[in-house]
A and B are shown apart, each in its own frame.
Chain A
Amino acid sequence: MICAVHMQNLAIIRGERLLFQGLDLSVRKGEAVALTGANGSGKTSLLRALAGLIRPHAGDVRFEGPQGVLEAEDARSQGVHLLGHQDCFKATRTAWEELLFQVQWTGGTEASARAASAKLDLDRLAGLEVRKLSAGQRRRLALARLVASPRSLWLLDEPMAPLDTARRAVFGDLMAEHLAGGGMIIAAVHDPLPIAARACDLSSLDGPAQ
C-alpha cells in the first residue's frame, strides 16, 4: 500500500535530449495530478520512470507506505498500475480471458474481475475476441483492470482519449472513487480530467536555453 510518492529534482534524458529537469513533486493519499505539456515534453517518460521502466538521469523517486519508506521494487510490484497508450491485450483471446489474466496478475481475484466487468458494463463483451472490440471498448476493458485489482497509485497516459462523453463521466466517477478510497492518480492529459486535480506543467521545466 503506497501512501505517497515523492519525486525529487528529477531529470530525464531520452536519446540525447533532456526532456525536463528539476522536477519536485509529491503526491499523497487522495490526490490527483494532471501532467500537461507539449508533445515530447516527457509526460509518458515520467510515468514510465515512476513505474521503474526507465531510469531517471538525475534525482530520485521515493515511495512511502503507512510504516515509512517502501522499497521501490515492492512498491511497484504491489502498488502501481500503469495504463499506457497500448492496452496490453492479445487480439485473438477473449475479452474475459485477457481481463482475468491482467486482474490476477496485478493482485485481484476472479470475483473482483467479475465485479469490475459488471461495473464497466463489459459483460456483453466478455466472450468476444479482443480484436472485435472498438477502441473505446478496449479502453474500458483496460480500465476494468484498474478497478478490479487494488493498487493505490494509478499512472495513466491519456486515459480518456478513446472514450466518448458519457464514458468519460463514468470514468470520472471511478477516479473520484479511487481517490476517496485513499488512492493516488498521476495522469498525462491533453484535455482536463473530469475530477479535481493539481496541474503540473512539464514544459516549464525544460533544460537551460541553449
Chain B
Amino acid sequence: MFQALANPQRFMDFSRWAAPILGIIAVILVAMGLWLTFTVPEDYQQGDTVRIMFIHVPAAYMAMFCYACLGGASFMGLVFRHSLADAAGRACAPLGAGFTFLALVTGSLWGRPMWGTWWVWDARMTSVLVLLLLYIGYMALQAAIDDEVKAARAASILALVGLINLPIIKFSVDWWNTLHQPASVFRAGGPTMPPDYLWPLALMAIGYMALFGSLWMVRVRSEVWRKRANGLALQAAG
C-alpha cells in the first residue's frame, strides 16, 4: 500500500474520497463514543469524573501513535528522499501535538477531582509533557529553517532522535517516579475496568484514529497543492 500511495498523483486520487469518508466515520464514531460516555453508569469510586477517561485515554494513546507515524514518515523521507514522506511527517506533527495537548488538559481536569490539584508530577503526566515538548521542538525546527527541503530533513533527523529517546525518557521518568514515591492514589491502569467502559473507550479510540487519518490526508493534500501552486508561480515568473 505504501508503494502504491507513494506516488503523489495516486495518493491524491485515493485521498480525494478517502479523506471525507474517514472524516464522516470519525464523526459518527466519536458521536457514538460521546453518547456512551455520558450514558454509561458512573464509577462507584470516581463518580461522574470517570467520564473524562473516555476522552483522555484515547488522546494519550493517539499522542504516542502520532509520534510513531512521525518517526515512520521521517525514516521514509530520510532514506528514500520522498517528498510525500516529508509532507506526511510535517502533517503529523501539529495533529500529534494537538492530541498530546488534549491528553494533558483532560488529564489535568481529571486530576482536580481525583487528586485535588490541577497538576501532579506523576510519571505519565510528566512523560506526556516531555512528548509535547518534542513535538514543539520538531515544529520549531521546521519553521526556523528557510529552505523547505533542508527544514524537512533536519526535522526528520530530530524526529528519529526523538523516537530513539522516547522510550529512554519514558523509562527514566518512571524510574524517577519510583525514587520519589508519589503520593498519588492513581494505580497503573486505574481501577479494574468494568466491561461497560470498554465500548466507549474503543469507539473513541477508533474514532480519534479515523479523525487523525482524515485530517492527516487533508493536510498532506494541501501540502501537495501548495507545492504545485509554487511550481506554477515559479514557471509563470519565468
* Contacts from A to B (Cβ < 8 Å): 15-17, 210
Contacts and interface: CB of A to CB of B under 8 A. Distances in A.
B7 interface: no
A210 B147 contact: no
Contacts of A15: 147
Interface of B: 147, 230-231, 234-235, 238
Nearest to A210: B235
Contacts of A16: 230-231, 234
A210 B234 CA distance: 11
Contacts of B230: 16
Output the residue of A16, A17, A210 with the most chain B CB within 10 A: A16
A188 to B, nearest CB: 22
Contacts of A17: 234
7 contacts: A15-B147, A16-B230, A16-B231, A16-B234, A17-B234, A210-B235, A210-B238
A55 to B, nearest CB: 8
B159 to A, nearest CB: 21
Contacts of B235: 210
A16 B147 CA distance: 11
A16 B236 CA distance: 13
Contacts of A210: 235, 238
B236 to A, nearest CB: 9
Contacts of B238: 210
Nearest to B230: A16
A184 B219 CA distance: 50
B71 to A, nearest CB: 24
B152 to A, nearest CB: 13
